């Protein structure tokens, strides 16, 4: 069972609805986690910049941040972590890259969820593995390759 809370900390047109976000996140969790508690927070440029500065020492906005749970696995709790996505940055990037905004939203949710599951892209081999999985998951959801 998955408990996925979607928080809207910003008002904007064109935001994906909670049902879509849960479906995208569910595609990542399917077969990987039987139980999971995740919060997805849609926010503004100010909040994402503050979080990026505080947790990554980068004083600028970003598209998505993931905060995996730091609880010991032996506790057996379902808490997976939090995903924070900046609405303004997602729309700006989609337009700049010539992608549909909906496809880019789906990519940010999938990307953030994979980080919660321990995937990373710091090393080339890790990046190839993670990007391959992103392509596969997004294709299963009906979205094009996000890296083309």
Local structure of residue 135 (DSSP, 8 states): H
Task: Specify the range with the lowest mean pLDDT, choosing from 47-51, 54-58, 73-77, 139-143.
Answer: 73-77
Dihedral (CA of 132, 137, 140, 141) sign: negative
Query: Could you tell me the residue ranges of all domains in the chain?
Result: 2-140
Answer yes or no: are the C-beta atoms of 147 and 132 closer than 8 Å.
no
Residues 89-144: tens digit of each pLDDT: 999 999 999 999 999 999 999 999 999 999 998 889 999 999 999 999 999 999 99
- Mean predicted confidence (pLDDT) in 42-69: 97
Q: CA 52, 8, 114 angle in degrees (round to 5)? A: 55
> Over 90: is that where the pLDDT of 80 sits?
yes
Which alpha helices (H) appear in the chain, and where do they start and end? 18-29, 45-56, 87-97, 101-116, 124-140
pLDDT attached to residue 98: 95
Residues 5-38: tens digit of each pLDDT: 999 999 988 899 999 999 999 999 999 999 999 9
pLDDT band at 73, cuts 50/70/90?
A: confident
pTM for the full predicted model: 0.95
User: Which CA distances in Å does 141 have to 24, 35, 123, 138, 145?
Assistant: 7, 21, 27, 5, 11
For domain 2-140, give the fold.
Collagenase (Catalytic Domain) (3.40.390)
């Amino acid at each position: 069972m998955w408990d996925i809370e979607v928080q809207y900390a910003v008002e904007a047109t064109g935001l994906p609805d909670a049902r879509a976000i849960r479906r995208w996140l569910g595609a990542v969790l399917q077969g990987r986690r039987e139980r999971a508690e995740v919060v997805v927070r849609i926010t503004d440029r100010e909040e994402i910049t503050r979080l990026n500065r505080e947790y990554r020492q980068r004083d600028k906005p970003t598209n998505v941040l993931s905060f995996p749970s730091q609880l010991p696995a032996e506790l057996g709790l379902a808490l997976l972590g939090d995903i924070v996505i900046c609405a303004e940055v997602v729309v700006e990037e989609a337009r700049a890259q010539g992608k549909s905004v909906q496809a880019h939203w789906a990519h940010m949710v999938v990307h953030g969820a994979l980080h919660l599951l321990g995937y990373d892209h710091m090393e080339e081999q890790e990046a190839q593995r993670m990007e391959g999985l992103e392509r596969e998951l997004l294709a299963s959801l009906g979205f094009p390759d996000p890296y083309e």
